[in-house]
Structure 1
């Protein structure tokens, strides 16, 4: 064992482990609202799942969907402000300690207080984001209440609360910073899309999903590098759970991107192809009509005979032309 700044550092197999005293010195977290016991957060999540999966749809079954336009605009504006605040908090702390500090940032009281406060703000933000799904249910947009959406919102609350309670680590700060940045963009889009007159100008929805996918790759890369380079490595449980969930999110968000945007692109390409074929068919008919007219003008008509030229359209591409022979009208 080695003592650094009065704190015992345990070494096992030549590696330096995060000292338990760091976590013991964050016991003040237990006095914060919702942090003393897992019961309050468990009840919140249970109520959330029960409402969005059972009670909400049953309640709205025979009712018209609620508009909630003003409520949603206000909610999205608040989420943008909250995400900007979280981004500022994370950037400020990373500016003070670096992106990948080698030393144990949590060994000082100031950093312990700063990091746990940032994680607590993040937890409150994740709890408030549960309203996303509730609004979908009240507006009867059940297609938005997917497994990906519900799982993502639920898991973020569970992971954030657990990490803050049992293992607050600086390696998670990059996650909070990057996720807050993405949420600034995302909730700005949602807020603007709730204004009907602006909908046609919002062409960048699919790029939000692309940003989320890039976000997961960067988060996992940073976390694994931090685990290798830092003197205070996260526990193996955190490393495994973080890796598994990031890969799962990559799969779920990747599948959503392919199904939503590749399908849309294919449908649009097919639609454009059909329009092109229709235009070509119309051009062909126009050329045929010109030829029919010219042929009618060039046909030699006997003095005692009268011919009428006619055509029948079979479909958009083919037309049948024929001549009808009629007797010349008698002159009085």
Structure 2
């Protein structure tokens, strides 16, 4: 019901205000605030945050598996309206799919707090263009997918991305526990590689949906195809740069 109501969460102004406030905070307010201050020790808060992210992203994946049941791994063969098909077009299945999308949208808003933590700890080198661009794009994109397009494909996108984030936040949590665990975190660079594979897979999927002409909005496909292409380019550049730096 809240997805079809005129509540503040369904207003198109909300993601715009959130992104504008985020940019103002991380570009102006926090750098000025921290200019003459020592970095804050937020280790405990960050560990809790990382664990909560693992739980929330895990729950999104759980909801997707619950939606798809035994057909979870058969997405590619039933990509058009895949959730409805997997559930024989049950009356409430679209609402459940939209609920998953709404939770994913909320998660993308929560993600913005990462940048605040970086700046309060004076880890400014981690606040890159890729970092800010990624966060700024995902909030409005997930809003428009949730409240306007309402395509079932968004559930798969959310589940795949949430799975990657489970790995990422697990790494963040373990790395925050201290140097004694560093030798067990050799798989760090594979997280970026998995993200790149994710983008390629989603682009192939969108191409399949467009080719099949199954009723999926072309505007939706264009929005996410352009977004993911930009992510793919930036993440590849980051991966190559990081790999070269490690070799040197």
TM-score by length of 2: 0.89
Check if 1:61 corresponds to 2:35.
yes
Secondary structure, counterpart of 1:190 in structure 2: helix
Separation of aligned partners in 2, 1:245 and 1:188: 26
Return the structure number with greater relative CO, CA threshold 8 A, min gap 6. 2
5+ long unaligned stretches in structure 2: none
Q: Report the counterpart of residue 145 of structure 2 in structure 1.
A: 163
Instruction: Say whether the 8 Å CA contact 1:174–1:222 is kept in structure 2.
Output: no
In structure 2, relative to structure 1, the CA distance for the partners of 1:162 and 1:246 (3 Å cut) is same
Whichever structure has more helix as a proportion of its residues is: 2
| Structure-1 separation of matches of 2:246 and 2:80 | 46
Equivalent in the alignment of 2:11: 37
How far the C-alpha of 1:48 sits from its partner, in A, is: 1.0
User: Which position in structure 2 is the counterpart of 1:91?
Assistant: 65
Contact residue 81 and residue 152 of structure 2 kept, 8 A: no
Indicate the residue corresponding to 1:245 in structure 2.
227
C-alpha deviations, 1:115-165, integer Å up to 9, x for none? Answer: 110000001111111111110011111111111001101111110001111
Change (3 A) 1:96 1:115: farther
TM-score under structure 1 length normalisation:
0.68
User: Pairwise mapping of residues 212-223 of structure 1 onto structure 2 (< 5 A)?
Assistant: 212-223=195-206
Aligned residues of 1:76 and 1:188 also touching (Cα < 8 A): yes
SS of 2:4's partner is helix
2:108 equivalent in structure 1: 126
1:47 corresponding residue in structure 2: 21
Q: Contact 2:210–2:218 (CA<8 Å) still a contact in 1?
A: no
Residue 175, structure 1, aligned to residue 163, structure 2? no
> What value does the CA root-mean-square deviation take over the aligned residues?
2.0
Match of residue 45, structure 2, among 71, 82, 88? 71
Between structures 1 and 2, the one with greater strand share: 1
Residue 33 and residue 66 in structure 1: after superposition, are their counterparts in 2 closer, same or farther (change >3 A)?
Answer: farther
Q: Say which one has the larger Rg.
A: 1
- Number of aligned pairs? 239
**Alpha-carbon offset, residue 207 of structure 1:** 0.7
Residue-by-residue CA offset, 1:228-262 (whole Å, 9 max, x unaligned): 336322x2222222111111111100000111112
Whether the 8 Å CA contact 2:97–2:152 is kept in 1: the answer is yes
Structure 1 alignment gaps of length 5 or more: 1-26, 268-332
Query: Does 1:81 find its partner at 2:64?
Result: no
Mapped partners of 2:55, 2:153: distance in 1: 24
Rounded to whole Å, the distance in 2 between the matches of 1:102 and 1:207 is 31
Deviations 1:268-318 (A, max 9, x none): xxxxxxxxxxxxxxxxxxxxxxxxxxxxxxxxxxxxxxxxxxxxxxxxxxx
Aligned to 2:185: 202
Query: Does the 8 Å contact 2:8/2:14 carry over to 1?
Result: yes
Runs of 4+ in structure 1 over 4 Å off: 101-104
Q: Distance in 2 between matches of 1:169 and 1:34?
A: 21
- Measured in 2, the distance between the counterparts of 1:96 and 1:223 equals 23
